[in-house]
Homo-oligomer: A and B are copies of this chain.
Amino acid sequence: MLNGLMMDVPLSIPRIMDYAASVHPDTRIISAAVEGGLHEYSYAEAYPRIGQLAHGLVAMGVKPGDRVATLAWNGYRHFELYYAVAGIGAVCHTINPRLFPDQIVYIANHADDRVLCFDLTFLPLVAALAPRLPAGIKLVLLTDRAHVPSEHGLEGLLIYEDLLAGQPTHYDWPDLPETTASSLCYTSGTTGEPKGALYSHRSNVLHSMGAILATPDCYGTNSRILPVVPLFHVNAWGLPYSAPLSGTDLVFPGPKLDGASLFTLMDEQRVTNAWGVPTIWGGLLAAMRAAGRKPAALSIVGIGGAAAPKSMIDAFERDFGIAVNHGWGMTELSPIGAVSREPRSKQTVDQRIEARQSQGKRTYGIEMKIVDDAGRRLPHDGVASGELLVRGGFVISGYYNNEKASAAAFDSDGWFRTGDVARITPQGDLIIMDRTKDLIKSGGEWISSIVIENLALSCPGVAQAAAIALPHPRWDERPLLVIVRAEGSEVTREAVLAHVAEAIARWQVPDDVMFIEALPMTATGKISKLDLRKRFADYQFPSDSA
């Protein structure tokens, strides 16, 4: 083997902003501020503040490797923390504020966070949890002195803008090894305790490159992207890095994520594309229907985090002419593993909608295989389905301080077991069938809960749907369909089942339908099937069932 003769310059998170500030100095970052109103500045203005913040963190005693936690919405200060914390060799640990307080306490202690930076919104939460946080943790309120409430009850509370004030704007970023940890994110953990994914400078840079290569139309000096996906979970799908890399404007929505607020912000700020989970887009679609139009400049929505229902893809593409990028990812993948691609030649809207039901194609940097129960590779023929395993430079190699979970997460070749069941077509399209744990095993055959839910959602009068497996004396498991009716609808059990039965085999049709007021959601906006299974644990299928 012969080694190349090229400079060894590590991939580096602060160097992304150094590049953005010098090459795209006028690119905008607009934030709906927690304090109210809009904050706007440029990459050239953000970069010296990141330098000041780095100095401020060092001055308050943050050391390389220390975990600096955040409880914050999508806004410019949170963005600045991403860069300054990683830039000094510390670890930006984003915590999901929608988790149960006990989980937040567990995570902060498991990570042994040394600092916690939080938005005004979360002052009461932090005040309540403070006694249970790691000993010696420093608390930083993400605001300026004028907005600090007079009575907050937190001794030694630091103010973010005070940390920056008077610090030099230039920070001489160290050449960290590119494998240095930059950020930490815990999976929401619908089962068991949350588990931490510890990203590196290298993995975040490579992930961003892969994302830009996959959906180039989202980026560039004429694009303006709104991440509804939170900075507090999986790096907002990499946007804090990929936007500066590509000179893309960022619009951070702050705390208001209802459809009407998002519509107004997108419309007024001429957002060209926005990324989020299906539940968010349901709200936006309602606002768009109420307004009778789309936000003025919106041309692409990215949907991930959970499978996008066909009815949602149909509404965006057909009714509003908005391209849907349907993706698949996981916290353990930084997160984007696959996403829709623009086709080589023009498609009809029906073809587009059909194509975008798949979760798209793998991103550069991710390799995929599907395997049978014995771990043998299955063909990518669009027919065979099996557990999806992945490998790549932005896939975790273990969970943070969690040997037990790490040991179970990989196959003998070191590939990560996603827990998803999928097919892959010869054209490279990934079709997620289900989570392995959500599949319904009836009489030795598998039934996909996603297929049933998609059909149910296309039934008039159905607002939300979840299919879950419940024990059955004869068939091991049978599907129960749980429905939230649309406002004003009185759609019946029989109507829903008849609608679903039109498109799948008889034995796959759910045995029963239960109507409830609202589906339980996880902290990351997915339907919690675990909670549903608990709720219906005592349910008995009708005696004529299946």
Which residue of B6, B18, B216 contacts A397 across the interface (Cβ within 8 Å)? B6
A23, A177, A394: residue with the most chain B Cβ atoms closer than 10 Å: A23
What are 10 A-to-B residue pairs whose CB atoms are below 8 Å?
Answer: A1-B177, A5-B399, A7-B393, A7-B394, A18-B367, A25-B427, A209-B209, A212-B213, A221-B344, A247-B341
Closest partner residue, chain B, to A392 (CB atom):
B9
Does A395 count as interface, using CB distance less than 8 angstroms?
Answer: yes
Taken together as a complex, chains A and B put the C-alpha atoms of A342 and B89 apart, in Å, by: 34
Asked if A219 is an interface residue, CB under 8 A from chain B, the answer is yes
A362 within 8 A of B: yes
Q: Does the CB pair B2–A91 fall under 8 Å? A: yes
- The smallest C-beta distance from A46 to any residue of chain B, in angstroms, reads 15
Within 8 Å of chain B (Cβ to Cβ): is A26?
yes
Closest to A219 in B: B216
10 closest residue pairs by CB, A with B: A4-B200, A2-B65, A6-B203, A5-B198, A2-B181, A4-B181, A9-B393, A23-B361, A22-B428, A5-B398
Min CB–CB distance A276 → chain B (angstroms) = 23
A1-B219 contact, Cβ under 8 Å, with A11-B393, A26-B344, A364-B245: no
Bound CA span A398–B3, Å = 12
Q: Which residues of B contact A91 (CB under 8 A)?
A: 2
CB-based contact B221/A395 at 8 Å: no
For chain A, the count of residues having a C-beta within 8 Å of the partner chain is: 73
A468 to chain B, nearest CB (A): 33
Provide the residues of chain B in CB contact with A380, threshold 8 Å.
22
The closest CB in chain B to the CB of A182 belongs to B4
Interface residues of A, dominant DSSP: loop
A85 → chain B, closest Cβ, in Å?
Answer: 12
0/1 per residue, A172-208, Cβ < 8 Å to B?
0000110111100000000000000111111100000
List B contacts of A426 (CB < 8 A): 25
Q: Is B216 touching A246 in the complex (CB atoms < 8 A)?
A: yes
Residue from the list B7, B19, B200, B220 in contact with A342, Cβ < 8 A: B220
Contact A221 B6 (CB under 8 A): no
A337 to chain B, nearest CB (A): 12
Beta-carbon contact of B220 and A179 below 8 Å: no
Is A64 in contact with chain B by the CB < 8 A criterion? yes
A161 to B171, CA, bound (A): 57
A71 to B: closest C-beta gap in Å: 21
Q: Given A65-B1, A216-B219, A221-B343, does the pair A393, B6 have CB atoms closer than 8 Å?
A: yes
Q: Decide if A101 is an interface residue (CB 8 Å cutoff).
A: no
Would you list which residues of chain A between 369 and 427 have a CB under 8 Å from chain B?
380, 391-400, 414, 416, 426-427
Known: A220-B216, A341-B247. A4 touches B428 (CB 8 A): no
A155 interface residue (CB < 8 Å to B): no
